[in-house]
Amino acid sequence: MAILHNRVSQKELKQRLLQETEPRTTISFYRYFRVNEPERFRDELYRTLAALKVFGRIYVASEGINAQISIPTAYLDILKRYLDSYNGLKGLRLNIAVEDDGKSFWVLKVKVRDKIVADGIDDPDFDMSRKGKYVDAAKMNKMIADPDTIIIDMRNHYEYEVGHFKNAIELPSDTFREQLPMAVEMMQPYRDKNIIMYCTGGIRCEKASAYMLHHGYENVYHLEGGIINYAKEIKEQQLDNEFIGKNFVFDDRLGERISREVIAHCHQCGKPCDQHTNCKNEGCHLLFIQCGECAVKYNGCCSEECSTVIQLPPKEQKELRKGKNKGQNIFNKSRARRIEKVGHP
């Protein structure tokens, strides 16, 4: 019987990846479609993708699939044919990473979830088949220039902080489930405007557009393939780039540069910087922005306290971590204070 999960340590797997010499391609894809047997679908995916040396995260639910993976470039066409063999995945768009060294993932995880993106929607009348109109890069640029267009960023505050479309409205929250009702409320004065929603790869803004229509909005659009596909299209078609800064991505890279502008600042010293990192203290692991100078000063940590902790013997560090639940540990700029001054936010 085939093993349908990984049994090798994360540390060893990452080391194996770093020693690989064959080129890899990082891609993301999603689709909302009816999956009648998510567990069976999950097992089929794992068997095939493991054989293709795929690494990454894939979520399967009755509403569809959401994936961020890397694959040996030589197997990319095989992957496309395999995905196309499912009726619900025919013609699937694969978003190819903008900046990619092939080291984005080092383990394959395929999990069954209630939703492919957590949305907090429990309304039985909500229907994903009724969604906003797609816009491509050319249409996006045209509508951005129209004063009757409202642009909404459907990503979290830490994603918006390092990069976003010009004049895009931020929905200041940590989670997508918080943003959906927030968008409905905030857009009430603009019901007669064209509303374009966008996100990283398209999955969140597509659901958000359906949610807006469900709540009576009419002129709702969403960016096809998200920022990743937009960056690809403006390059291929030599279009003006209306996105400034970096596109945050949920893998080991933590970002893809879309334009040269650096619009964020180091959370410790305030210098221009848009490099996210996780605090090196495993008992903290805070996601925050840190410049090179502060990385040296604090040993890659978010505070002097954490910098002191990582210099302790491993056994003592482990004792300090016992019983602590980090949860979603993300620097929140709305707290209006610097990490350096307060230790742990």
199 is catalytic: yes
CA distance 146 to 141: 9
pTM (2 decimals)?
0.81
Pick the CATH number of 133-237 from 3.40.250.10, 3.90.25.10, 3.40.190.10, 3.30.70.260: 3.40.250.10
CA distance 16 to 304: 33
Q: Which residue of the set 199, 205, 279, 306 is catalytic?
A: 199
Residue-wise over 323-337: b if at least 16 C-beta within 10 A, else e?
eeeeeebebebeeee
Q: What percent of the chain has pLDDT over 70?
A: 86
Please state which CATH number belongs to domain 22-112. Answer: 3.30.70.100
CA distance 150 to 143: 9
Query: Residue 14 has what pLDDT?
Result: 58
**CATH 3.40.250.10 domain residues, the chain:** 133-237
pLDDT in tens, 85-100: 999 999 999 988 876 6
**CATH 3.30.70.100 domain residues, the chain:** 22-112
Closest Cα partner for 35 from 59, 60, 62, 58? Answer: 62
pLDDT in tens, 44-83: 999 999 999 999 999 999 999 999 999 999 999 999 999 9
Q: Would you state the torsion angle of the CA atoms of residues 75, 77, 79, 83, taken in this order, to the nearest 10 degrees? A: 180
pLDDT in tens, 181-195: 999 999 999 999 999
Rg (Cα) of the chain, in Å, rounded?
21
